[in-house]
Structure 1
């Protein structure tokens, strides 16, 4: 055990208490440490790491600082150092940010559950007033079972009271269910503090005590602690608009459904007008149709086209309809890049302003019924720009289960901006009733599919744990830098997939397999969907690019081959249909091949089944 004891690197007099400062990052621990230790500070290196430990004298005792952490665990070097120092502490001085109690008290309750004597310094109390908050400190002290001292450390307020309270540190109110779990495993370790970390599946503690075949309850314990902290925060904090700034008031309005939903709808409308209309139509009209589709395409055909016949396989692969130097660069630079830049620009604006986390918090409860949490709103919003890009951003979700559900819903029920533009152009002349039928059908499939996946898939999705930063005006340099970096990342991810997709479709087309697949679908298209036989060709084109399929339906409608109800059924099918070839390639890259195949086949079945059922009622 001594090799893990940080005290071996620090001079601790006999009978001296080891007082440890603990807290989240950026809560002002250094101010407390400097006040309590004065000039007598030693710095030593924690064994096996590059992290330094600051220590100093406090009367006859020793004070040690720890790296800022959100919990006592072993996920990185900072947490491992903080864990071992806290384990050997006699008293913990826990510094807490008074404005972010829902975040900081998680660590506080964990330390209390370890059975350590604690004093809580409730710091940054000046920000509490500016944020229009009122904290019942006496009730907080009663709930935690330890002394809580309000402070504004940077102004020196309350530091003397903290100094006096250290000698009165006591163990707090441990969560009953967690104490029962500790009692079951404490015989495997030396202390109750280690027993808690063992129950939380700390790999270092398990290895240190050579506990074999151990199955802990980390998720259960974390959920108990989170629920406990949420209940405490609800009891002790009162929001008041007195002395609160406009930014604080606006931030609160964004979180309340009655005001937050209209604000969100307004923001999405602005985003749609900017990206779905201006970028997707005006900008893309210039970049795809004129710059790439005319000037670039003509240049390629007048140079490379002289050496290759586009009726041969090599010619088709290079300069054909889906050629590597025709379709691939035209789509990537002419279509996708403007949309990607536009979406990442707005996403960076919302992120830098502090609005994006508030959107996640606002929709969290609704998305929970679908097996997701509020973070999933980010790929969902991005999906209306490009499902390929949105699929990549599902990486930010907390579990494999959530990533699968989000990817399934993205590929199934979220039309990209290019497809959405064509669909809106087709459905607008049909009137409001047609729009309602289409929208209600897609939304119903979205909700039903998500709900069923949440019920049927094993395991549970993660809770939304998100910090709400203050609202602020975005810094344009930061926004442009994020937009640039994310756009470059997208190009690196998408370009190889477009190349593979172009090769695959060209081979299918050249060998006649594309037409064979379309012919195979015709009886089903006519019989079950009650549509014209040529609609199957539009479905096949929809695999290549979603808006290709929608554009194909537009041609059929203009020829009088589809009436209003048939057009609605076709649009429902093409929307729920498998995403474009680029998105499919990304899905296979992000998910396992089994999950990807399930998403791919499931989209086929759900799209045609939904469209077929709808056809029985309206065609």
Structure 2
């Protein structure tokens, strides 16, 4: 049945909707995994690029909402969280114990909705390390709901939370707000909707065709004053906290020390993922296991049912077959890279370093119409553009998502392609390495700056929590890595299969070869490269590293090699990325991005050829 105003999730008869709500980075995912185990599904919220994870626990359907600071409609994440929380039956509110003054605003807002609430006061170990004590009983009394202290990543308090879900109750609603809510008696079905009308939520007003009362500022002020009073009553500060962690935190945020630390971290990630995983591990999984054992086996098996000269045989197990290219690409190439990237992302997230990277680079990325959050898809882009494009969902506005998607598609080489490029350009010497690097950096900077100037609207400011620095817990990191990897592969695999089908059909109808002939005049006259280079560009559409690898078979001068590598880096993303871009953006936007990358690649390559060849 339909749940939460448009989200199609089956709610079995007799089940209640248990909604997890909390600020960003409070550890909701640990509670969600503890409640649902491996029985997790993901649904895309209609009209957005935000996904909702859901599963079952006893007689509850558990829904995990995006991390938000309040229930409102300022961005996609808040709109989705609002529409899920408004119609939830029980709310499990996860609160960062070290940041009560911040997190309790959302807690009180949910309580004012009249929802049964239970509060998980998480990260109590950080509270202790910082020399602080919290009066749990008094906090529970003031809020009017059960409050359970937890350290979720260590499993502490999780069983107590599960046991107390049935004890969730409606909290102490502010007296003045309660009086205002009477205005909507018999006008709305839910008190939560009435609160949104009090807080001037235009979407709810239009949906219910009821005018708001213009009370947002007053209600926010009342709630903030109440939060301050509660925090002052229950927080007891004692010692000076953990100075070592605080010192590390300061070093990561100061540009003089933070930038060298970031460079070292990124270099380590590149060496592990870009060199070891993309080279040795992928070499074993893709070439030895998939190409050496799996593909011959599946071709031999398929030949028993279909003639080798038949179209169906080639569609299934041909060079770009659904049963050959897709599993080899997904299992042999993508899976090791995706696991490695999500492992490092989870490691940085669990340690508290990832938000600090975002804060550190925020000012630089603002020149390109982005905020610090965009560093996450940019970093991921060096692993897989397809994966990075999907993660642009975490950006706050449509404008930022378009800018990030264009920069990823235009200028970021994926790890597979980067490995081939590095192998070709390294023997040419420092001069040519610098020409290649500076060209790509200049294109990135100019593209971002121009997009920031010409695209309508405004980008969002960076509002991000800086959780305490901590040693990541390996089990939590591995769970996150596993969950995110499975989610990505479920979403990406059908797209790769579709891409393999399209390429096979293009080859079978000779359209692929006609495209190659169409490219030849451009490669010779504009790029000053041999006409055979056209084949590399066509292969680059199928897979970016195929295109780069195709250049190794040509006899090129050092100057021609640099021109070819720059052009193929800026050239259109691989077909899997293209399909994802069409899925994430509108058809018009995706078409313009594809055409733009095509034009930019040959324009920059042509200019560079004119200058150095």
Which residue of 2 is the match for residue 605 of structure 1? 599
Q: Evaluate the alpha carbon distance shift between residue 610 and residue 295 of structure 1 in structure 2; reply closer, same or farther with a 3 A threshold.
A: same
Which residue of 1 is the match for residue 35 of structure 2? none
Which residue of 2 is the match for residue 584 of structure 1? 578
Which residue of 2 is the match for residue 321 of structure 1? 319
Question: Matched residues in 2 for 1:449 and 1:421: separation?
Answer: 24
Q: Does the residue aligned with 1:76 lie in a helix, a strand or coil?
A: helix
Question: Matched residues in 2 for 1:360 and 1:313: separation?
Answer: 50
Q: Does the residue aligned with 1:555 lie in a helix, a strand or coil?
A: coil
Q: Does the residue aligned with 2:457 lie in a helix, a strand or coil?
A: coil
Per-residue CA distance 1:150-183 (angstroms, 9 max, x = gap): x96529999xxxxxxxxxxxxxxxxxxxxxxxxx
Which residue of 2 is the match for residue 256 of structure 1? 254
Question: Matched residues in 1 for 2:262 and 2:535: separation?
Answer: 38
C-alpha displacement at 1:218, in angstroms?
9.8
Question: Matched residues in 2 for 1:345 and 1:70: separation?
Answer: 27
Q: Evaluate the alpha carbon distance shift between residue 431 and residue 312 of structure 1 in structure 2; reply closer, same or farther with a 3 A threshold.
A: same
1:86-105 alignment, distance < 5 Å: 100=99, 103=102
Which residue of 2 is the match for residue 76 of structure 1? 82
Q: Evaluate the alpha carbon distance shift between residue 514 and residue 209 of structure 1 in structure 2; reply closer, same or farther with a 3 A threshold.
A: closer
C-alpha displacement at 1:551, in angstroms?
0.5
Unaligned runs of 5+ in 2: 1-21, 27-66, 74-80, 88-94, 110-122, 140-193, 225-238
TM normalised by structure 1 equals: 0.66
1:115-154 alignment, distance < 5 Å: 153-154=134-135
Aligned residue among 469, 473, 489 for 2:487: 489
Q: Does the residue aligned with 1:267 lie in a helix, a strand or coil?
A: helix
C-alpha displacement at 1:103, in angstroms?
4.6
Matched, 1:508 2:506: yes
Aligned residue among 558, 572, 575 for 1:564: 558
Per-residue CA distance 1:503-553 (angstroms, 9 max, x = gap): 111111122111111111111111111111000111111000000000000
8 Å CA contact retained: 1:539, 1:574: yes
TM normalised by structure 2 equals: 0.67
Q: Evaluate the alpha carbon distance shift between residue 217 and residue 261 of structure 1 in structure 2; reply closer, same or farther with a 3 A threshold.
A: farther
8 Å CA contact retained: 1:255, 1:361: yes
C-alpha displacement at 1:313, in angstroms?
2.1
1:301-320 alignment, distance < 5 Å: 301-320=299-318
Unaligned runs of 5+ in 1: 1-22, 28-67, 82-95, 111-123, 133-150, 159-193, 227-240
8 Å CA contact retained: 2:382, 2:415: yes
Q: Evaluate the alpha carbon distance shift between residue 102 and residue 385 of structure 1 in structure 2; reply closer, same or farther with a 3 A threshold.
A: farther
C-alpha displacement at 1:371, in angstroms?
1.1
Question: Matched residues in 2 for 1:479 and 1:129: separation?
Answer: 23
Question: Matched residues in 1 for 2:68 and 2:370: separation?
Answer: 26
1:187-226 alignment, distance < 5 Å: 201-204=201-204, 210-211=210-211
Which residue of 2 is the match for residue 441 of structure 1? 439
1:19-418 alignment, distance < 5 Å: 70-71=69-70, 73=72, 76=82, 100=99, 103=102, 153-154=134-135, 201-204=201-204, 210-211=210-211, 244-418=242-416
C-alpha displacement at 1:76, in angstroms?
3.2
C-alpha displacement at 1:302, in angstroms?
2.6
8 Å CA contact retained: 1:310, 1:319: no
Which residue of 1 is the match for residue 539 of structure 2? 541
Question: Matched residues in 2 for 1:408 and 1:255: separation?
Answer: 28
Per-residue CA distance 1:341-384 (angstroms, 9 max, x = gap): 11111111111111111111111111111111111111111111
8 Å CA contact retained: 2:25, 2:465: no
C-alpha displacement at 1:438, in angstroms?
0.5
Q: Does the residue aligned with 1:537 lie in a helix, a strand or coil?
A: helix
Task: Choose 1 or 2 for highest CA Rg.
Answer: 1
Q: Does the residue aligned with 1:458 lie in a helix, a strand or coil?
A: coil
8 Å CA contact retained: 1:73, 1:202: no
Which residue of 2 is the match for residue 461 of structure 1? 459
Which residue of 2 is the match for residue 137 of structure 1? none
Question: Matched residues in 2 for 1:597 and 1:204: separation?
Answer: 34
RMSD value, Cα: 4.2
Per-residue CA distance 1:207-250 (angstroms, 9 max, x = gap): 889449x9x9999xx9xxx9xxxxxxxxxxxxxx9865211110
Q: Evaluate the alpha carbon distance shift between residue 102 and residue 455 of structure 1 in structure 2; reply closer, same or farther with a 3 A threshold.
A: farther
Question: Matched residues in 1 for 2:501 and 2:511: separation?
Answer: 14
Which residue of 2 is the match for residue 615 of structure 1? 609
Q: Evaluate the alpha carbon distance shift between residue 488 and residue 157 of structure 1 in structure 2; reply closer, same or farther with a 3 A threshold.
A: closer
